[in-house]
Amino acid sequence: MFESIFSGVEGLVTSMGFVGMFLATFLETIFPPIPSEIVIPLGGYVANVSGLGLPGLALMSVASALGSTVGAVMIYEIARRGGRAVILKWGRRVMVDDKKLKVAEKWFEKHGDHAVFLCRMAPGLREIISIPAGLAKMDRPKFLALTFAGSLVWSAFLASIGFYFADAWKSINLGGVLNMVALVLVMSLASYFVFKHFQKTRKA
């Protein structure tokens, strides 16, 4: 499955550049089965092999963050206007069930608005944290700002993996290595942010 997703997203990003990166991350956000750990590094990979350099990497990161933010805002608005029943009915089609939603809701209840920023960098939560924010009718400008900020950090991190390891991945199984390396690094990053946040919470 990952190889087919990789091929499709690679074609989209390669043929459409920054617009393709925007569309790919938009789709990844509203359709959680598509893993960001594969999608976003492709932007950095394409920036490298296309000779776009660091400016291209930066633009790919921003395009990725914008796509993720637009997708997150759409989910937020559906939750805010439609309520929990609509979300659960729609969510079954994209593997968002009541159990996953309750996990996201607990994070939001415990950490408030900061959960939106933190969860944009947490696998399994980044795609659905917009739901409890919408259900709680979180302030729109604040939601937008925190979502974009978290998405930008996440996008820059993963795109950099694709950019700096592009040469090594050209000659080997890119899809498999990209998925494995990104997953390990992403989990480490997410754990670090969660740990630091809990430290601050306990000291407060």
Convert the pLDDT of each residue in 162-194 to its tens digit: 888 777 656 555 455 555 455 545 555 555 455
Which stretch of 70-84, 119-133, 184-198 has the lowest confidence by average pLDDT? Answer: 184-198
Q: Is 178 helix (H, G, I), strand (E, B) or coil?
A: helix
Please state the rounded mean pLDDT for residues 94-98: 60
Closest CA to 124 of 98, 146, 103: 103
Q: Contact, 139 vs 169, CB < 8 A?
A: no
Backbone torsions φ then ψ of 150, nearest 5 degrees: -65, -40
Structural domain total, the chain: 1
> Where in the sequence is the domain holding 132, given as residue range(s)?
2-203
